[in-house]
């Protein structure tokens, strides 16, 4: 993989050295710098034209590089980068506030070290090509059924439906169970917005409860306090792949005759005592977005215990059409179907799932070895006999770290290392502020100092070690700086 240093050349270098370096990096260009500050861009065409025009090959590149170039700030969004890339601009330099070159983007990599990126190295192309050759590209086709069957076998669920994304999976799960206006659904304060969005879209009201400080999952103690005569369902979220305390939640649900919808968007592969998450409750939902454990690009699935809920959801997923009677609608439904093309990618990804899990296990162990040994972080607690999906390595800065989480993210971005904050508390979000909540401050504390680090399955031990060293250096350097300021005050 091309590194930033492979694309950089000092402005005093010769044409000959520039040509050699361009040939070596195979990107067709170089970033011309002076002590890391970007001065311009030099292409292989620039070098060759100058040589043809009579320039000495041992002469300097100073006069021939292009000083008018396209660049972006290192904090540029994925959308900005993708909109800038085109047939003419295939590599974009990313600069900091001082104009120094800190990273680059291309069609093949948006950052030096992205936080999560799918690995499409199996039969994805073969299966998608099969869809195109046979003309089965929409929601009909063998791969959709194969994908659903694979999900059932892997999770040991009785029924499964493939859907277009994880959000509609949640919505379909709720409405298939009859949850709607007048009902309350208890949700955790730390989750992605789709969890609460689905509850609101179903016409029900979310009741937000705080999380446990050790697992970051829904607090059972607060869950009990949140129960009311309007409570219809509990929606535990297996956040970052760590399973919730499903045995206690199911016991509570049975006692109060409540439904349980498990949000397993990040938890494919997570289990408790060998039982896969999503199979404890009435319904479980999964996401196969590009950053999930496996991906279809976009996609989701719903697994069911009840045949009646499954049959109802199947009709609702397909426009509300009556099975066996084409174009006849007995109910108002949705178009929540997954395409055969997407399912084909999902089938190929499933074939590699155990390999992905092994690689993620290595990545987590390397972070433990090189980063957690620093003593700067705490992580989620995984109870005994619980298995995690190992989705995304996420940790919380301890109070001994004087650097703010957002400042650390900014410093890492300048080093070409992509990172993410932990999800914001749902109770802080404008759309959900007026909903009932039971909070003790755990979600706020975790969210304020939590950070997710690169976990793409192709990362090597050397790369994780380097990322860990850069993180530790940022923290240690800031701690030292703050200590000096305090001592001189």
Confidence bin at 478 (pLDDT 50/70/90): confident
| Per-residue model confidence (pLDDT) at position 44 | 87
Confidence bin at 142 (pLDDT 50/70/90): very high
| Per-residue model confidence (pLDDT) at position 489 | 52
CATH superfamily membership of 4-106 = CBS-domain (3.10.580.10)
pLDDT above 70 for 197: yes
| Per-residue model confidence (pLDDT) at position 468 | 96
The overall average pLDDT reported for the chain is: 93
| Per-residue model confidence (pLDDT) at position 488 | 55
| Highest CATH level, class, for 353-488 | alpha beta
pLDDT tens by residue, 261-281: 999 999 999 999 999 999 999
Our CA dihedral for 257, 258, 261, 263, rounded to 10 degrees, sits at: -120
| Per-residue model confidence (pLDDT) at position 28 | 87
Q: How far apart are CA 452 and CA 392, in angstroms?
A: 7
| Per-residue model confidence (pLDDT) at position 4 | 86
For range 231-245, the mean pLDDT: 98
pLDDT above 70 for 237: yes
pLDDT above 80 for 485: no
pLDDT tens by residue, 79-106: 888 899 988 888 999 999 899 998 898 8
Greater pLDDT, 109 or 38: 38
Radius of gyration of the chain, Cα coordinates, nearest whole angstrom: 26
| Per-residue model confidence (pLDDT) at position 114 | 85
pLDDT tens by residue, 404-444: 999 999 889 888 889 999 999 999 999 999 999 999 999 99
CB 246 within 8 A of CB 284: no
pLDDT above 80 for 8: yes
For range 121-147, the mean pLDDT: 94
pLDDT tens by residue, 277-310: 999 999 999 999 999 999 999 999 999 999 999 9
Q: How far apart are CA 131 and CA 133, in angstroms?
A: 6
| Per-residue model confidence (pLDDT) at position 315 | 96
pLDDT above 70 for 353: yes
pLDDT above 70 for 110: no
Q: Options 3.50.50.60, 3.40.50.1000, 3.40.640.10, 3.70.10.10; which CATH number does 124-351 get? A: 3.40.640.10
* Exposure b/e, 122-161, CB count within 10 A at least 16 = b: bbbeebbebbeeeebeebebbbbebbbebbbeebebebbb
Q: How far apart are CA 262 and CA 187, in angstroms?
A: 10
In SS3 terms, the chain reads as: CCCHHHHEEECCCEHHHHHHHHHHHCCCEEEEEECCEEEEEEEHHHHHHHHHCCCCCCCECCCCCECCCCCEECCCCHHHHHHHCCCCCCEEEEECCCCEEEEEEECCECCCECCCCCCCCCCHHHHHHHHHHHCCCCCCCHHHHHHHHHHHHHHCCCEEEEECCHHHHHHHHHHHCCCCCCCEEEEECECCHHHHHHHHHCCCEEEEECECCCCCCECHHHHHHHCCCCEEEECCECHHHCCCCHHHHHHHHHHHCCEEEEECCCCCCCEECCEECCCCCCEEEEECECCCCCCCECCEEEEECCHHHHHHHHHHHECCECCCCCCCECCCCCECECCHHHHHHHHHHHHCHHHHHHHHHHHHHHHHHHCHHHCCEEECCCCCCEECCCCCCEEEECCCCCCCHHHHHHHHHHCCECCEECCCEHHHCHHHCCCCEECCCHHHHHHHHEEECCCCCCCCHHHHHHHHHHHHHHHHHHHHHHHHHHHHC
pTM for this predicted structure: 0.85
List strands edge to edge, sheet with 386-387.
275-276, 271-272, 386-387
Confidence bin at 189 (pLDDT 50/70/90): very high
Q: Lowest-confidence range among 77-91, 336-350, 382-396?
A: 77-91
Phi, psi of 129 (to 5 degrees): -60, -40
Please write down the long-range contacts of 424-429, taking CB distance under 8 Å and 24 or more positions apart.
Answer: 425/189, 425/190, 426/187, 426/188, 426/189, 426/190, 426/191, 426/193, 426/195, 426/196, 426/206, 426/208, 427/189, 427/208, 429/193, 429/196
For range 353-372, the mean pLDDT: 97
Residue spans per domain, the chain: 4-106, 124-351, 353-488
Which of 92, 66, 67 lies closest to 7, judged by CA? 92
Q: How far apart are CA 317 and CA 388, in angstroms?
A: 30
| Per-residue model confidence (pLDDT) at position 51 | 85
What is the residue whose two structure tokens read 């949140």?
A: 226
Which of 370, 353, 335, 325 lies closest to 461, judged by CA? 370
pLDDT above 80 for 111: no
Examine domains 4-106 and 124-351 and report if their fold is the same. no
For range 59-86, the mean pLDDT: 88
What is the residue whose two structure tokens read 């109060």?
A: 256
């Amino acid at each position: 993989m091309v590194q930033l240093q492979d694309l950089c050349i000092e402005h005093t270098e010769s044409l000959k050295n520039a040509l050699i370096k361009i040939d070596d990096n195979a990107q067709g260009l170089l970033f011309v710098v002076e002590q890391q500050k970007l001065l311009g861009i030099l292409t292989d065409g620039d070098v060759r034209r100058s040589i043809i025009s009579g320039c000495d090959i041992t002469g300097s590149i100073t006069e021939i590089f292009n000083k008018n170039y396209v660049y972006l700030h290192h904090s540029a969004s994925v959308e900005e980068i993708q909109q800038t890339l085109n047939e003419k601009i295939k590599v974009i330099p990313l600069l900091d506030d001082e104009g120094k070159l800190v990273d680059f983007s291309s069609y093949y990599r948006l950052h030096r070290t992205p936080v999560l990126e799918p690995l499409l190295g199996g039969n994805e192309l073969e299966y998608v090509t099969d869809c195109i050759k046979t003309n089965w590209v929409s929601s009909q086709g063998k791969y959709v059924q194969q994908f659903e069957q694979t999900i059932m076998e892997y999770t040991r669920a009785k029924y499964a439906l493939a859907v277009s994304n994880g959000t509609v999976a949640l919505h379909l799960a709720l409405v298939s169970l009859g949850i709607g206006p007048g009902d309350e659904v208890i949700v955790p304060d730390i989750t992605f917005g789709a969890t609460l969005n689905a509850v609101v879209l179903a016409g029900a009201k979310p009741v937000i409860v705080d999380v446990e400080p050790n697992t970051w999952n829904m607090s059972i103690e607060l869950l009990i306090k949140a129960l009311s005569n309007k409570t219809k369902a509990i929606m535990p979220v297996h956040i970052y792949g760590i399973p919730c305390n499903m045995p206690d939640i199911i016991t509570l649900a049975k006692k109060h005759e409540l439904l349980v919808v498990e949000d397993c968007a990040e938890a494919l592969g997570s289990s408790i005592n060998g039982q896969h998450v999503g199979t404890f409750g009435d319904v479980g939902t999964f996401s196969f977005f590009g950053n999930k454990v496996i991906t279809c690009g976009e996609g989701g699935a719903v697994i069911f215990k009840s045949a009646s809920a499954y049959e109802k959801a199947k009709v609702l997923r397909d426009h509300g059409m009556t099975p066996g009677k084409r174009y006849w609608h007995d109910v108002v439904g949705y178009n929540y179907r997954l395409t055969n093309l997407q399912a084909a990618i999902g089938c190929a990804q499933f074939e590699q799932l155990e390999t992905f899990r092994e690689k993620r296990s290595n990545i987590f162990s390397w972070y433990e070895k090189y980063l957690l040994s620093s003593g700067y972080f705490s992580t989620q607690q995984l109870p005994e006999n619980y298995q995690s999906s190992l989705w995304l390595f996420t940790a919380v800065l301890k109070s001994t770290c004087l650097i703010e989480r957002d400042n650390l993210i900014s410093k890492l971005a300048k080093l070409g290392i992509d990172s993410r904050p932990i999800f914001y508390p749902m109770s802080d979000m404008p759309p959900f502020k007026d909903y009932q909540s039971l909070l003790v401050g755990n979600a706020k504390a975790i969210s304020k100092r939590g950070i997710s680090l690169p976990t793409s399955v192709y990362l090597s031990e050397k790369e994780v070690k380097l990322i860990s060293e850069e993180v530790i250096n940022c923290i240690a350097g800031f701690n030292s700086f703050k200590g000096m300021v305090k001592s001189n005050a």
